[in-house]
Amino acid sequence: MENKVLTVCPYCGSGCQLYLLVENGQVVGAEPADGRTNEGNLCLKGHYGWDFLNDPQLLTSRLRKPMIRKEGVLQEVSWEEAIGFTAEKLNAIKEKYGPDAIMGTGSARGPGNEANYVMQKFMRAVIGTNNIDHCARVCHGPSVAGLTYSLGDGAMSNSIPEIENTDLLLIFGYNAAVTHPIVARRIVKAKQKGAVLIVADPRKTESARIADTWLPLKGGTNMALVNAFGHVLIEEELYDKDYVSNFVQGFDEYKANVEKYTPEYAERITGVRAADIRKVMRQYAKSGKAMILYGMGVCQFAQAVDVVKGLASLALLTGHFGRESVGIGPVRGQNNVQGSCDMGALPNVYPGYQSVEDAKIRKKFEKAWGTSLPDKTGYRLTEVPHLILKENKIKAYYIFGEDPVQSDPNAAELREALDQLELVIVQDIFMNKTALHADVILPATSWGEHDGVYSSADRGFQRIRKAIDPPGEVKPDWQIISEVSTAMGYPMAYKNSEEIWDEMRKLCPSFAGASYSKMEALGGVQWPCPSEDHPGTPYLYQGNRFTTPSGKGQLFACEWRAPLEQPDDEYPLTLSTVREVGHYSVRTMTGNCRALSQLSDEPGNIQISLEDAAEHGIADGQLVQVYSRRGHIMARAQVSGRIKKGATYMTYHFWIGACNELTVDYLDPVSKTPEFKYCAVRIEAISDQAQAEALVRKQYAELRKQMLVGAVPE
C-alpha cells in the first residue's frame, strides 16, 4: 500500500513542496510537488533527505524515550517522571533566582510554527520572562533588526518566483547554489531571460561564475563597498530624486556619511576595482526592475546590521520597492526560521512582531493568556555563555530543537557554560552534542510525524503534514511543552495544531486571515494577510508605504569597521564558515540519510587557495590540522582556484571537523550576531596521512558511541 502525503521540505527556507511516498508505515521516497516556489523541482536534499526518518544510525541515533541524568549518566525514564522532574526543577529555580534566570529557545527546524508559538507563550506566561530566542540570532538577526529600521518589516520584500523576472540581480554575500538550489534556479532563469547579474563575494561561487560582473571583495569589507555604491548613486546623480523626497528620510545625513567613500577609496579597502563599482551602480540605478539578494556573507560579521541598512538604502535611493521583482531579499536559510521569528521566538516581540515593551499590546496578550507578562526585552541567544560564565545570571536553559554546541561559535566556551548550569533541558529528535550536557532529554516527533505550518523565506505560510507514526514514546513538541506547563501550574491543553494556530491568528493582525483551510485551498498564504477574504501579499510596501513609524524608508550609512580578529604571524589565515549543498546545519538529519552521507562525510573540508596549499605542501584531499586561539581540529583540504590567497572556508555541518571549535564569539553590537565569517587560523600539513585517517575513523567511532548508536530500538 503506497500513499502520498503532501508536505514541505524540512531543509532550507525555499519552501519546496513535496510528496512523501509511504509504504507500510515507512517513508520510501520523495517526489517534487507543484509548489509556488519550487514548481515541481527539488534539490538533492529534498529528493534524498527523508531517510533519517528510518533511523539508519549512521552519525547519531533517534531519541525514543525521555531521559534524566542520574549519577552522571543519562537513563531512560517514564514521561511522567521526566515531565515532573522538569516542572519541579523549573519551579524551584524560578522561586530561588527569579524568572529571568531561565532561558529558552525556539526552534527554526522541524517543529513548526505552532510549537514555537506554544514555546514562547510558555516562557512568557508560565516562566514569566522574555528570555526566548533562537538560531535567527546567529543568522538573519541583522536582517530583522536592519530591515525593520529601514523599511519596517524584517523579511524578504518580494517573493522567490519574482526573482526570475527582474532586469538586474545584485547578489551580495549569498551563495544560492549551495544554500538554496531552488532559489539558484530562479537566478539561472533570470540570467537566461536576459537579466544582468552582479555578484559581490570573496569566493567565485556558482553565481559569480555566471555573473556579468563579479566583485571579488576582500572578506570583512562589506560596509566600505556598500558605502561606495551609495557614493556613486549620489555623486553621479543616479538616485531617484522624486522618490527620495516623497518616500524616504535621512538623505542629508546619508550623503554626508558616504562622502568620503569614493570608489577609489573603497578600492584600497575592498580590492574591488573603482571602475567596476561605478559600472554596476549605473546598471543598478538604470534598471527598470532590480532586486538585491543577500545572505550570511552580510549577516555573520560584527558589522552586519549596518550593512543590511546600507543595502536597503541602495534600493530606497533608486526607488526599487513596491512593485514586482524589485526590493531586497534576505533569503532565510532554514525551513522555518522565518516562522520562528513570525511566532515571536525572539526576546523583544510577541507573535506577529508586536513589541513586548508596548503596554497596549502587552495588555492584549495578558488578557488572552490570563496572566501578567514581563515588560522588558529578554536575553539574546548569543549572550548566554557570557551571562552564565561572567555574570552568573542564567541558571536553567530549555533548549528546544537546536544544537548550539555544534552550531554556535566558540564551542569550548559554550560547553563550559552548559556544564555550569543547574538545569539543561534538551528537547529534540536525535542525540546530539548539546544533549551530552543535558540533565533531562525530552524526545519529540520529527518533520513527517506531525502536522503544522512552516513559513518559507518569502513569508509564505504552508502546511506540513503527518506521513508516518513516530517511533518509541515520542510526543509532538507542543504537547510536551503543554504538559510541562500544566505540571508547573498553568494548564495548557490543545487538541491539535490547528487550535494553536487559530489562537495565534486572533492575536496577530498581519496573520489573521491565514487559516488552515485557506492554505489548503491556495497551497499557501503569504503574510501580511489581515482578513479571511484577503489573498495574501506577494510583495510588500505597495504604493511605497513603508511600515516604519513614519511610513517612510530610512536611509543609513556609517563608517566601515574592520573585523575584530585580524590575522597575524601566529595565525596568518582567515576562516569563514559556509555551507555545502548536500548537508544541512548540524547534520543530525542529513548525516543520517544514507545517500547524502555517502556523498560527503566526516571530517569535512577546509577550502584553501592554490597558493596557500603549495606554500604549506598540502595536496587536495589530504587531512590537515587547523588551529585558532580557541581550539584545533582536523579537516580535509579542498584546494581550489576559486579561493583567494589568505582565506579559508569550512562548512559547519561536520562533527569531527567542527569549525565552531575555532570560530570567535565577537558579536554585532545591535543584533548580537556572531562574526562567523572572519577569524584568524593557522593550518598545518600532516606528514603521516595513514595515521591521521585512522585517527578520524577512531574519532568517528567514539562519537557514534557517545550518540548511543547501536542501542537496540524496541
* Number of chain positions touching another protein (CB under 8 A): 40
Q: How many helices (H) and strands (E) does the chain have?
A: 25, 28
Quick check: 204 binds another protein (CB under 8 A)? yes
- In whole angstroms, give the CA distance from residue 351 to residue 343: 4
CB of 208 to another protein, least distance (A): 9
- In whole angstroms, give the CA distance from residue 80 to residue 468: 25
Positions in 25-44 near another protein (CB under 8 A): 26-29, 38, 41-44
CB of 252 to another protein, least distance (A): 40
Nearer to another protein, 23 or 702 (CB): 23
Nearer to another protein, 52 or 122 (CB): 52
- β-strands 213-215, 248-249 pairing: unpaired
- β-strands 605-609, 553-554 pairing: unpaired
Quick check: 696 binds another protein (CB under 8 A)? no
Q: How many residues are recorded in the chain? A: 714
Amino acid at 622: Q
- In whole angstroms, give the CA distance from residue 89 to residue 84: 8
CB of 209 to another protein, least distance (A): 6
CB of 61 to another protein, least distance (A): 14
CB of 156 to another protein, least distance (A): 20
Quick check: 599 binds another protein (CB under 8 A)? yes
Exactly one of 372, 392, 598, 691 binds another protein (CB under 8 A); that residue is 598
Nearer to another protein, 176 or 438 (CB): 176
CB of 642 to another protein, least distance (A): 6
DSSP output for 343-363: TT-SSSEETTTEETT-HHHHH
Nearer to another protein, 28 or 614 (CB): 28
Q: What's the half-sphere exposure (Cβ side, CA atoms, 13 Å) at 219?
A: 31
- In whole angstroms, give the CA distance from residue 391 to residue 219: 33
CB of 213 to another protein, least distance (A): 10
Distances (CA, A) of 395 to 17, 385, 420: 41, 11, 8
The radius of gyration computed from the CA coordinates of the chain, to the nearest angstrom, equals: 24
Q: Is the Cβ–Cβ distance between 667 and 409 less than 8 Å?
A: no
Exactly one of 3, 23, 78, 711 binds another protein (CB under 8 A); that residue is 23
Dihedral angle, C-alpha 153, 159, 160, 165, nearest 10 °: -130
Nearer to another protein, 49 or 110 (CB): 49
Tell me how far the alpha carbon of residue 653 is from its chain's centroid.
13
Maximal C-alpha separation, the chain:
71
Quick check: 215 binds another protein (CB under 8 A)? no
Nearer to another protein, 40 or 98 (CB): 40
Positions in 42-81 near another protein (CB under 8 A): 42-44, 47-48, 51, 54, 56
- In whole angstroms, give the CA distance from residue 463 to residue 114: 11
- Cβ neighbours, 10 Å, residue 98: 13
CB of 599 to another protein, least distance (A): 5
Q: Is the Cβ–Cβ distance between 307 and 564 less than 8 Å?
A: no
Give the three cell numbers for residue 348: 523583544
By rule CB under 8 A, what string of x and - marks binding of each residue 162-201 to another protein?
--------------xxx--xx-xx--x--xx---------
DSSP conformation class of 711: P
By rule CB under 8 A, what string of x and - marks binding of each residue 635-674 to another protein?
------xx--------------------------------
CB of 22 to another protein, least distance (A): 10
- β-strands 73-76, 67-70 pairing: antiparallel
Residue found under cell 511605497: 544
By rule CB under 8 A, what string of x and - marks binding of each residue 542-581 to another protein?
---------------------------------------x
Nearer to another protein, 200 or 487 (CB): 200
Task: State the residues that interact with another protein by CB under 8 A.
Answer: 2, 23, 26-29, 38, 41-44, 47-48, 51, 54, 56, 176-178, 181-182, 184-185, 188, 191-192, 204, 206, 209-211, 581-582, 594-596, 598-599, 641-642
